[in-house]
């Protein structure tokens, strides 16, 4: 009985450790695309976008929302930035550069054809995010692209995960899809391929506690940042930033599942509020749980 009790306690501790390993909360950041309009050259616009991406990776941001203060942006990243006058297209360029930098280097050719918005993106330093795994580096998870290769009936598709060998997954998927693959524990060194299982892109974060990059979303106006949240119940903590806000040193963060931090442009969040046809307020602070001077 004593031995059985010890075994039960050991299993309980192991289960507890596994449960605490994952991270279930998310942090989202919203920025206006107009911040690129203040940069005077394509090189500076690209550099500024790179600084945003790097800051978000350092602080483990899970989602970046690019919103248009003027309400002129489409919801796709098709098109090109047409200069400082094309304010809506600044959102498109910022979103495209953010997506490009988030993508592991070995996948970029598959998802990003040559584009004017990315002309200087190759000059930026790599983000070196945890999911940017090097060829011979061991990792439980890897990002990959499904290859257009024939497979035997009942066998899964082949995926390029940036390794010396291709990975055969457990499912048949459409070629060209980006997938998150969990690699099997012990691999046969003599095999021509690796074995892996397709998992949700959230699994590295929720199961293993790894930071696994950010998603990028375009919002046509400030209210759309909230209304089009990818989370079922939206954001349960919203934070606005302004020089008119309270001191960040005095702020007390409550517990949250999905936090959103919104930054304004050069003229502050007031510009986005005034231009948004869906908002009847004039004071931006009423939209947020916390309104802080950062």
Which residue is it, tokens 């942090």? 27
More confident residue, 95 or 88: 95
Of the candidates 86, 207, 259, 74, which has an alpha carbon nearest to the alpha carbon of residue 197?
207
Q: Which domains does the chain have, with CATH numbers?
A: 26-129+213-292 (3.40.1280.10), 141-200 (2.40.50.140)
Asked if 57 and 129 touch (Cβ cutoff 8 Å), the reply is: yes
The confidence score (pLDDT) of residue 10 equals 55
Separation CA 162–CA 144 (nearest Å): 7
Nearest Cα residue to 222 out of 55, 5, 35, 69: 69
Please compute the mean of the pLDDT values over residues 7-14 and round it to a whole number: 54
pLDDT tens digits, residue range 225-239? 999 999 999 999 999
pLDDT at position 72 is 62
Per-residue pLDDT, 76 = 52
> What is d(CA 124, CA 44) in angstroms, rounded to the nearest whole number?
11
């Amino acid at each position: 009985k004593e031995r059985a009790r010890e075994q039960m306690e050991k299993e309980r501790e192991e289960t507890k450790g596994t449960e605490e390993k994952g991270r279930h909360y998310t942090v989202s950041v919203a920025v206006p695309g107009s911040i690129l309009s203040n940069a005077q050259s394509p090189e500076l616009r690209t550099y500024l976008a790179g600084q945003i991406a790097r800051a978000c990776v350092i602080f483990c941001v899970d989602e970046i929302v690019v919103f248009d203060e003027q309400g002129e942006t489409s919801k796709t990243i098709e098109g090109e930035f047409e200069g400082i006058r094309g304010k809506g297209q600044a959102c498109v360029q910022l979103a495209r550069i953010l997506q490009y930098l988030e993508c592991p280097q070995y996948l970029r050719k598959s998802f990003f054809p040559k584009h004017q918005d990315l002309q200087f993106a190759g000059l930026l330093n790599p983000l070196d995010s945890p999911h940017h795994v090097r060829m011979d580096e061991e990792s439980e998870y890897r990002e990959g692209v499904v290859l257009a290769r024939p497979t035997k009936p009942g066998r899964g598709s082949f995926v390029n995960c940036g390794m010396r060998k291709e990975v055969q997954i457990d499912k048949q998927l459409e070629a060209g899809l980006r997938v998150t693959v969990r690699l099997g524990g012990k691999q046969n060194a003599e095999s021509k391929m690796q074995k892996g299982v397709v998992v949700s892109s959230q699994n590295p974060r929720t199961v293993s506690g790894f930071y696994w990059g950010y998603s990028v979303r375009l919002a046509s106006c400030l209210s759309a940042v909230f209304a089009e949240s990818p989370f079922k119940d939206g954001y349960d903590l919203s934070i606005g930033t302004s020089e008119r806000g309270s001191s960040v040193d005095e702020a007390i963060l409550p517990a949250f599942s999905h936090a959103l931090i919104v930054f304004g442009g050069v003229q502050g969040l007031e510009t986005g509020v005034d231009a948004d046809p869906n908002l009847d307020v004039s004071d931006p602070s009423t939209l947020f749980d916390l309104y802080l001077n950062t």
